[in-house]
Structures are given as structure tokens and as C-alpha cells.
Amino acid sequence: MIELSTNISNYEQLISTDLTAYDAIYLGDVTCPLYPNNFCSDTKDLENAITFLKNLNKKCYLRLYAVPENKDMQWMRKLIQRAIELKVDAFEAHNLGVLLILKEFKNIIPIHFGVFGNIYTIETIKVLQDYGVTRVQPSPELSIEESIFIKDETPISTVFAVHGKIPLVASETCFIMEQNGNDESNCGFACSKDHWLTRQQGEWSMKDTGRMTLSGKDLCMVEHIEELLSKGVKNFYIQSHGESNEFIETTGKIYKDVINKSLNNEKISYETNVETLSSLAHEGLCNGYYFGSTGQQYHGRKLND
């Protein structure tokens, strides 16, 4: 069973986006509990979202805050308790302390360990498995060769990010809020607008969402899906934090189509796909670290042909 997933932060975006292409949705925001109306801060919206997605026959996973401080543990316990009652299909954790909370609740819902979990070694995965982790996302720094090695050697499942901006930093503080001179009591949700950081006459760029900094360029592996499928990859993920409905819909449709055509040995129009994906990328496309080079480079399909 192949799964294509993405993430949606809040209810408004969930119901206004065509999610036909996706099999599963990661709900909520991992880097900011305040991020506008995200599912981690409103359990009523979470309940509605779960009902909505179950009706669409899609899996719903709840993303838990990646860098909780001691003061966050109380509200996170309440959120986890409620999510267990609501029977989410999985939790996505990024933090070791949160794994202890899930253990304290005797949780039996599957746990995914996310991008900020620093998954680099099989040995780490074996430890996490003892704490209920059933799926991991290898660190974006790993090459395809290394990620496939993890997939093949690990006793649990792996998910591969194939498109979208690469999360580079999760911070405990909000850069945008500080820039605006606000505090947590009135953050102003300035992160709803795009913030681009540039240097080196624009050659270096990043997108900042306050507590998370992402690559300026969009990771794009559409030309390498066939290869990933041939190596046994089953879970594909499109990172869409801070992106428009159009981005989520279009990228989902393209990747779903490429996955299906690859499985059926049908011809794929890579040029058109790359062109469309490129038009959605503010700063262009890259392959991240998958080919063992620095994150900004883009390698076309010919590299591996």
C-alpha cells in the first residue's frame, strides 16, 4: 500500500483544499502552538477535522509540538489525552520528552517520529521502537543511499519527504515576533505573511515562519519517484507548511499521478511536471541532500539514468 501525505495546520485550510490526491494528512503545527488556529491549540477543530477526514476515508495524524518547554507539558498532556479519545490514526512526535508522556498515558496509538527527531541511525530507531514509535522520517541531511539503508534495515516503517521546503531550523523563540517587538500575549500572527531571508545578493535564501526556518528552494523529487518506488519506498510526504491551497492541491495531484503511472509502467511527462512545480516555487527547486551534495542543488533525472 503506497501512501501520499501532507500537512495542514488549521480547519479553514483543511475544508477549503481539494485533498483528493492524498491518503493521509498530518494535522497541526510542530513548531508553534500559537500558529493561527492550528489543531494543537483547538481540540474542537481537531475533532471536526478528524470527522471530516474519516468521511473522506483518509488517515489523520496529529503533529505534536517539536520543542516543548516545561511550561508546555500541561497543555500537551491535555491535547494528547483528547486525541487518544478522538482516535487519531497516529501521533507525530519530534521530542523525546513527549514520548515519555505518551508512555505515561499507556498510549497504543502508533507514533511517528518526525523531521526534527534527528533520525540518523538504526540504533536510535531501535531505542525509539521501545517507546512505541512505528514510523520515522529520516533526517533531511541523509542521502537517498542512507535513507534507503535505514528503510531496509529498520524494523519499523519510514516516510520520505519528496516535495516542499526543507525544514532547516526549529527554534524555541519566534524570530518574527521579536522583529515586530511583540510578545506571546499578542504575537499578531505576523507569520501568516511570507518572510524571506536573503544573503549573498539573493543566492542564499530561506523562508522564515517565526519558529521554523525553511529552505528557500522547494525540494523536488518528482523525477526520482520511479527510482524510490523501485527501491521499496512506500510512504511519500509533501511538506506544505505555510503554502497555499493551490500548492497543496497541485503538488498532490502531480505526485499521485507520477506514483500511479510509475506503478503501471505508463509514460510520464516529466518536463511538464517540473515546469508546473517550478512555477509554484518562489525560489526554484532543489534535491536537498538526497544526492550527497549541499542542499541547494538540483539534479535532473539523467543523473541516475
Number of Cβ within a 10 Å radius of residue 126: 13
Please give the Cα distance from 207 to 191 (Å, whole number).
Answer: 11
Instruction: List CB contacts of 279: < 8 A, sequence separation 6 or more.
Output: none
DSSP summary character for residue 182: -
Residue in 42, 32, 33, 54 with CA at minimum distance from that of residue 11: 42
Please give the Cα distance from 111 to 113 (Å, whole number).
Answer: 6
Binding other proteins (rule: CB under 8 A), the pick from 70, 74, 186, 230 is 70
Question: Smallest distance from the beta carbon of 262 to other proteins, in angstroms?
Answer: 26
In this structure, the chain runs to a length of: 305
Please give the Cα distance from 83 to 213 (Å, whole number).
Answer: 28
Q: Which is nearer to other proteins, 100 or 303 (CB)?
A: 100
Q: Which is nearer to other proteins, 167 or 252 (CB)?
A: 167
Q: Which is nearer to other proteins, 55 or 155 (CB)?
A: 155
Binding other proteins (rule: CB under 8 A), the pick from 20, 51, 173, 244 is 173
Rule CB under 8 A: say whether 296 interacts with other proteins.
Answer: yes
Rule CB under 8 A: say whether 116 interacts with other proteins.
Answer: yes
Rule CB under 8 A: say whether 190 interacts with other proteins.
Answer: no
What would the grid cell of residue 119 be? 533520525
Q: Which is nearer to other proteins, 14 or 206 (CB)?
A: 206
How far is CA 68 from its chain centroid? 18
Rule CB under 8 A: say whether 183 interacts with other proteins.
Answer: no
Q: Which residues bind other proteins (CB under 8 A)?
A: 66-70, 72-73, 95-101, 116, 118, 120-128, 139-143, 146, 149-150, 153, 166, 168-173, 175, 178-179, 194-200, 202-204, 206, 208, 213, 215, 289, 292-296
